[in-house]
Amino acid sequence: MNPVPSPSSTVAGPGHSFPGARPALALLLLINLFNYIDRQVLAAVVDPIKQSLFGNGETAGGTLGVLQEWCRSHLGFKPELAFIGVLSMAFMVTYMLGAPLFGRLAERRSRWMIISIGVILWSLASGASGLAATFFILLLTRCFVGIGEAAYGPVAPALISDYYPVKVRGQVLALFYMAIPVGSALGYVLGGAVSRSAIGDWGAQWLGVHAESWRWAFYLVVIPGLILGVSSWFMREPPRGQADLAQPDA
């Protein structure tokens, strides 16, 4: 990872971005795209997950089975869908708690380093979601996905603000946030398509990997995420606040 440059060596001209701004924006945009692809994959594979982990409504073993029986006997409903909802809630809670902490940390440490670690963490956790054999393991992996993405969410816009002056910052941030609806749609569509495909059979035949197709929806985001995470490690940190000092064109 490159050191933080001195402000005098990277000062932008009036109304212009700082050196390395375009590659940085492209990388942050791709990360944001895969960020939201990964978030929506879970929603796309709810039915096969429920079938895989809970079967046709039978009681699971261990603690989960005890919870199922308690919900059926005391609350009068089948709790399987509620458990699936807990997976999404676990992500949101860990993200909500982690984002302010990482935002604070980013004031003192390299923001690209924080992003790199976060992207690698959520990519590995997403792959681990596909390996989960029980509900509680899947719940744990979704918590780690939330932690990883919390390291990215509050940091990326701050980086963009230091690469681009106020004059063009709104346009750049609009482009950056465009990845949210696009990534969300792609995650839902690709996750659903993969979970309903024969990729599980192909993986067993050609790779020797015996896994249900819905698990591949989580596996497929791992490699791109790791590449993006490692690439982030080598990005150069822009001087903090210098873009705000750039004077607009007369």
Q: pLDDT per residue over 165-218, tens digit each?
A: 888 889 999 999 999 999 999 999 988 888 877 665 665 555 555 567 888 889
Sequence ranges of the domains in the chain: 29-237
d(CA 236, CA 209): 39
Q: pLDDT per residue over 139-168, tens digit each?
A: 999 999 999 999 999 999 999 989 998 888
Give me 36's structure tokens: 């939201």
Compute the Cα dihedral for 225, 229, 231, 236 and give only its sign.
positive
Alpha helices in the chain (DSSP H): 21-44, 46-54, 62-70, 80-105, 111-131, 135-150, 156-163, 166-177, 179-195, 199-202, 213-219, 222-233
| DSSP state at residue 5 | P
Q: What is the mean pLDDT of the chain?
A: 81
pTM over 0.75: yes
Highest averaged pLDDT of the listed ranges 10-24, 52-66, 205-219: 205-219
Task: Rounding to the nearest 10 degrees, give the CA dihedral for residues 163, 165, 168, 169.
Answer: 60
- Of 193, 194, 188, 165, nearest to 21 by C-alpha is 165
pLDDT at 77: 54
Arch. (CATH architecture) of 29-237:
Up-down Bundle (1.20)
pLDDT at 66: 57
* Residue 9 pLDDT level (bands cut at 50, 70, 90): very low
pLDDT over 70 (residue 59): no
Alpha-carbon distances of 21 from 29, 33, 48, 243, 246, rounded to whole Å: 12, 18, 42, 11, 15
pLDDT over 50 (residue 8): no
Minimum mean pLDDT range among 2-11, 120-129, 134-143, 149-158: 2-11
